[in-house]
Amino acid sequence: MKMLNFRSIGVAVIALALLAPPAPLFAQQAPAASPPSATAPTPSATAPSQPTAAPAAVPAISAAPAASTAEPAATQALPEAGHAPGSVVPGLSELSPWTMFLNADIIVQIVMVGLAVSSVITWTIFIAKKVELGRARFRLRRSLKKIAEARSLAEAQMALGDKHSVLSMLLAAALREAKLSAGLSSDDGIKERAASSFSEYVRAEARHMRRGMGFLATIGATAPFIGLFGTVWGIMNSFIGISKSQTTNLAVVAPGIAEALLATAIGLVAAIPAVIIYNHFSREIKVYLELVARASGAAGRLLSRDLDRSHGSAHRARAAE
């Protein structure tokens, strides 16, 4: 009996040993199959209760590369279009007047520099002529007030003093003519010759005050056409650049056209003030010449009084004899 028991126990142990390995082997293979299911589930690793989950995941994985390849194509299309909202075309952000001048053709640059110099000349003439006319008008009005109560040429000269003005020159011309014509009995001839001297001084003063007006007239008349010449030249160069680059992209076309139009803008900036200043000084000089005419009339009246006074004293002398 004991022998049978040992045999039965041995058979049971061997049977348990044969049956034990399949369970640990299955336990080791189960964790190895679980990682693929975490990243990309396959039909063999999915649970039987979800047979349709794996086919839905496969199109999602294939759609991601398509989206990534479509994104560079979209980004490449934006620079070519040139009109996407929020996008800045290369070169257009640098179109300032100074950069346009530096990048312009040499002929256009010469035109711009000439127009800029013309504008400087215009404003220089404006400042100088404004000061000159203001001072001359002030001196002449003050001189006319001083001789308003004078009764003779000598008294008027004493009232003015040694100050150099148009009125003092007219008085000196009247006195000189009176001295040169001393002994002549014709007063009308003396007055005529004195009036001729006065007109020469008036014309000389008008020429003096109109100095610089020719520059203003020339700049106002020619500056727009000079600027237009620069514009035409710049646009020709722009079209030549377009034909060489064989493209109508805005970044290629816009800078040349902007540089060309800048010449016209500078021409207008030089011409418009020149015309306005010319018209302004034409009125101011006209007012000043009216004052000079008043001074000429005042000198002529003083000369006439002196002539009448001399003839009156001569008549009294003859009557006394």
- AA letter at 157: Q
pLDDT at residue 314 tops 70: no
In the chain, % of residues over pLDDT 90: 30
| Whether pLDDT at 121 is above 50 | yes
Give the pLDDT of residue 114.
92
Q: What is the mean pLDDT of residues 154-171?
A: 84
Residue 286: which of 213, 196, 200, 194 has the closest Cα?
213
> What is d(CA 146, CA 166) in angstroms, rounded to the nearest whole number?
14
pLDDT of residue 53: 40
Cα(175)–Cα(160) distance, rounded to whole angstroms? 14
Show the tokens assigned to 284.
């101011």
Mark 220-246 as b/e (b = at least 16 C-beta within 10 Å). bebbbebbbbbbebbbebbeeebeeee
Supply angle C-alpha 116, 231, 251, rounded to 5.
110
**Three-state SS at 51:** coil
Q: What is the pLDDT of residue 200?
A: 92
Q: Report the alpha-carbon distance of residue 13 to residue 9 in Å, rounded.
A: 6
pLDDT exceeds cutoff 60 at 30: no
Task: Work out the number of other CB atoms within 10 angstroms of the CB of residue 143.
Answer: 24
pLDDT of residue 217: 94
How far is C-alpha 186 from the geometric centre of its chain's CA atoms?
A: 67
The per-residue pLDDT for range 224-267, each reduced to its tens digit, is 999 999 889 888 888 887 788 777 677 667 777 888 888 899 99
> Residue 259's pLDDT is what?
80
pLDDT at 103 over 50: yes
- pLDDT at residue 93 above 70? no
Q: What is the pTM (predicted TM-score) of this model?
A: 0.63
The predicted structure's pLDDT at residue 295: 92
